[in-house]
Structure 1
């Protein structure tokens, strides 16, 4: 009796497995395609997120961004557009007398400020002003020297003869201040994008 019950159970099990197997065999290729597409979409989505937040990660990810053309600074028509960084600030890629630098755009800074290292790299003629230059910063008052940048380029914008202050107290941070922004035709923030628009003549002094 046990043998008959075992055989019957096995028979019904086979009958159940056969149609299920046939059904799976038909659907597996479709499932594979769907899963493959979903996996690639997930990988690409994660890559875009990581590259978009690359300031938090290794600097080598900037190369990936350039390859994928995920630009944080672009020129559209006569406007230069800068996307907000992960730290909530706007950082511009500029050249100072041919030396590339990443500068913080700060409308609260009256004058453009450079680190000693940047001033040396650009070979600026740094000197003491006729009167002591004292600046009020978040860390208190600091003394600074002055210099003039022959040409600062940001996107299609070129500023010539731009006055700057230089101090080791700035650390490694370079700041674009209002003496640069005030020379533009306009500047505004739309969403998470800073838009800089020069006058009809792009170069200004």
Structure 2
């Protein structure tokens, strides 16, 4: 006699308990298939709803994975990212749905969105972000080499007069200006090392300045 429990154990977990997106896609495909076997108004209605669900699944999947490509960075503000909060002088940055920490900073008086990246040695501004903030590359400094997924590329160095958000202010900070980030601005370790400390607690990035500023 075949043990149903043994049969279920042999199946992959995603098939026993499929993720919501996969389950919705399977239901939609069943509806479309059944509609193709019949005719009349009911079949057309089933086909319409099946295609509608498939379109919704595709749209949600695109929104979930769009962050994998930095060229989509300029779309991030429209997704509704959580805002940083100041508590006791510390800045608390919630984890966004895309798995990154984002902050809204004031760079030389210009509002600029950054992704916090502890793996980046130096803070990087996109060419667009640098232009908006009035930051130009220093012609007296040699270019640096950035290691990217598409190979090594040269980028220019520059200096930011002030970078402020919450109770944190960084002055006279070196940055890299790159045309290869697709609009993505990255807050790197040369900024984090200026802080008194930083840590992650329960999915929240907590930044502690050495000298908290009034908000």
Q: Normalising to structure 1: TM-score of the pair?
A: 0.63
Q: Match for 2:151 among 140, 151, 155?
A: 140
Where 1:118 maps in the other structure, the secondary structure is: helix
What's the offset of the Cα at 1:72?
A: 2.4
Give structure 2 stretches of 5+ with no counterpart.
1-62, 67-74
Where 1:170 maps in the other structure, the secondary structure is: coil
Which residue in the other structure is 2:181 paired with? 170
Q: Match for 2:191 among 139, 164, 180?
A: 180
Deviant stretches of 4+, over 6 Å:
none
CA deviation digits over 1:150-183, x for unaligned, max 9?
Answer: 1000211000001100011111100000000011
Within the alignment, does 1:88 sit opposite 2:127 as a pair?
A: no
Change (3 A) 1:82 1:160: same
Choose 1 or 2 for highest CA Rg: 1
Change (3 A) 1:164 1:59: closer
How many residue pairs get aligned? The number is: 143
Q: Normalising to structure 2: TM-score of the pair?
A: 0.60
Give structure 1 stretches of 5+ with no counterpart.
1-52, 66-70
- CA distance in 2 between counterparts of 1:180 and 1:174 reads 13
What's the offset of the Cα at 1:132?
A: 3.3
Q: Match for 1:190 among 176, 181, 201?
A: 201
RMSD of aligned residue pairs (Cα, Å) = 2.6
CA deviation digits over 1:137-162, x for unaligned, max 9?
Answer: 23321110111111000211000001
Task: Indicate if the aligned counterparts of 2:142 and 2:156 stay in contact, CA closer than 8 A.
Answer: no
- CA distance in 2 between counterparts of 1:59 and 1:78 reads 25
- CA distance in 1 between counterparts of 2:135 and 2:153 reads 20
Change (3 A) 1:150 1:193: same
What's the offset of the Cα at 1:136?
A: 1.4
- CA distance in 1 between counterparts of 2:208 and 2:135 reads 27
Where 2:180 maps in the other structure, the secondary structure is: helix
Q: Once structures 1 and 2 are overlaid, which stretch shifts more, 125-134 or 182-191?
A: 125-134
Task: Indicate if the aligned counterparts of 1:129 and 1:146 stay in contact, CA closer than 8 A.
Answer: no
What's the offset of the Cα at 1:60?
A: 6.0
Where 1:100 maps in the other structure, the secondary structure is: strand
Within the alignment, does 1:125 sit opposite 2:125 as a pair?
A: no
What's the offset of the Cα at 1:126?
A: 1.4
Change (3 A) 1:129 1:144: farther
